[in-house]
Amino acid sequence: MSYSQAEQRQAFADALTGITADVDGTTVTLTGSPVQPVTVAPYAAWPIWTATRPIGSLGGCVAVETDWIIAVALPGADAQTWSANGDPLTDAVLDALDRYRVDRVEPGQLLVADSGAVPCLRFTITGV
């Protein structure tokens, strides 16, 4: 896949928007965004650019691969809440990202100015 980072960001936002999962008997829906929202709400999702690697050149143009982390904000403030809210989303997000090489899924925390730390899922994607 060779397209600009802006196009990649939007493609991720489009793939994430509308993902649903049953969380403890309630259907939740992700809201995708090409960048981190100003106010991070539970079930917001967006890509975070982590690296770009030159992999060669063709006709004077440098070919690159780009690595991303997809962040999915979760409600709650402790590991038990992350598990209850994050576990049902893992398969749904992996299904939506099936065209990409997801190398790792892990729990994490996002530091946000308005609320401190927010629990999240982090999906590591390499080689876009």
Decide which of 114 and 31 is more confident: 31
Domain total for the chain?
1
pLDDT, residue 114, reads: 65
| CA distance readout (Å), 53 to 4, 41, 63, 67, 123 | 13, 32, 8, 8, 19
CA 58 to chain centre: 30
Decide which of 27 and 108 is more confident: 27
Q: How far is Cα 125 from Cα 128, in angstroms, rounded to an integer?
A: 8
Q: How far is Cα 68 from Cα 111, in angstroms, rounded to an integer?
A: 18
- DSSP class of residue 115 equals T
Q: What is the CATH number of the domain that holds 69?
A: 3.30.70
Kindly report the three-state secondary structure assignment for every residue of 29-55.
ECEECCCCCCCCCCCEEEEEEEEEEEE
pLDDT in tens, 65-79: 889 999 999 987 666
Whether 1 shows a pLDDT value over 50: the answer reads no
Domain holding 33, by residue range, is 5-125
Contact 16, 24 (CB under 8 A): no
